[in-house]
Amino acid sequence: MRILFIALWCLLPLGLVAFHYGPGQEKMALDHSGAALDRARAHLDASEWEAAIPELEAALAALPEGHGSEAQRIQLELLKARMMTGKLPEARGELEELLARVDASAEPELHADVLEALSSARFHMTYLMKLEGLPETEWGPEIDAARQERKLLLQQAGSPAAASRQADALESAIKLARMDPAELYGKAIPKQCQGCCSGKCNKPGKKPGKKKLPKDARGASSGPPIDGEGS
C-alpha cells in the first residue's frame, strides 16, 4: 500500500502538467475571454462604443475553438458597436456575412438578433444614401430588404413588446422609403450615420449644405427619429 501511495504521489505532478496543457489551457482562455467580455459589457451599458470595441475583440480572440455560438454572439455585439462609431457600411456587410453563418434552426434567438441588427444597418444605410442624394436605384433595394426583414421579425415576435418594437421599426422603414431627401436635411442625424460615407459618395447628387445638424444618440438596432422629435 505504501509503495502504491508513493507511486501515486510521484504521478501527481504529471497529472497537473497534463491538466495545465490540456483542459487547463481552455479554462484559462475562457477566463480571459469572459473577463474581457465583462469589461466590454460595462462600456456598452454606458454607451462607450469606442472603449467597448477593443474589449470585444479581445474576448473574441481569447475564446477557444468549439464555442461557435458564443463567438457569433460576441461578433454581433462587436459589429453593433462599430455601427455606432462611423463604421456603418463595413458593419452592414459583415452582418450579412454573419447572418449566413448562423444556423436559424439551432440558434433561433441569435439568428433573430443578427437579422434585426442587419435590418437596422440597412435602414441607416438608406438614410445615409438619401442624405447623399443618391437615386432610388441605389437605396431602394436596401430599404426593401429592411422592410422584408422587419416583417419576418414581426411574424416571429415572441411577445407583445417585441411585436410592438418590430411594428414601429417597420413603420419607420416605410416612412423613410417615402420621404424626399430634402425632408431629412433638417432632422437629427442618427448616431449610426454620423461621420459615415455610404461608399458611393463619388456619385453626383444633392447633399445637405454645411449647416450643422443636431446629433442624435440612439441604439444600434433602432431607427432614426423620422418624425424629427428625437428618441
Q: Residue 21 carries which side chain, given as an amino acid letter? A: Y
The grid coordinates listed for 31 are 477566463
What is the pLDDT averaged over residues 30-40?
94
pLDDT at residue 15 is higher than 60: no
**Which has more confidence, 7 or 104?**
104
Q: Is 195 in contact with 83 (CB distance < 8 Å)?
A: no
Listed in sequence order, the DSSP H helices in 132-179 are 136-156, 160-178
**Which has more confidence, 10 or 141?**
141
Cα separation, 176 vs 155, whole angstroms: 21
pLDDT at residue 49 is higher than 80: yes
If DSSP codes are grouped into helix, strand and coil, which group holds residue 125? Answer: helix
What is the pLDDT averaged over residues 68-84?
95
- Structure confidence at residue 139 (pLDDT): 95
Residue-range domain boundaries for the chain: 22-68, 87-185
pLDDT at residue 27 is higher than 70: yes
Q: Residue 139 carries which side chain, given as an amino acid letter? A: W
Cα separation, 227 vs 211, whole angstroms: 20
Residues in the chain: 231
- Structure confidence at residue 16 (pLDDT): 43
Burial class from Cβ neighbours inside 10 Å (0-12, 13-18, 19+) for residue 117 reads: buried
Cα separation, 220 vs 206, whole angstroms: 27
- Structure confidence at residue 204 (pLDDT): 41
Q: Residue 13 carries which side chain, given as an amino acid letter? A: P
pLDDT at residue 195 is higher than 90: no
- Structure confidence at residue 87 (pLDDT): 93
Phi, psi of 216 (to 5 degrees): -145, 115
For 61-70, 83-92, 174-183, 212-221, which range has the lowest pLDDT when averaged over its residues?
Answer: 212-221
- Structure confidence at residue 218 (pLDDT): 45
CB atoms within 10 A of CB 193: 23
pLDDT at residue 29 is higher than 50: yes
Reported as a pLDDT band with limits 50, 70 and 90, residue 192 is: confident
If DSSP codes are grouped into helix, strand and coil, which group holds residue 34? Answer: helix
Phi, psi of 222 (to 5 degrees): -105, 165
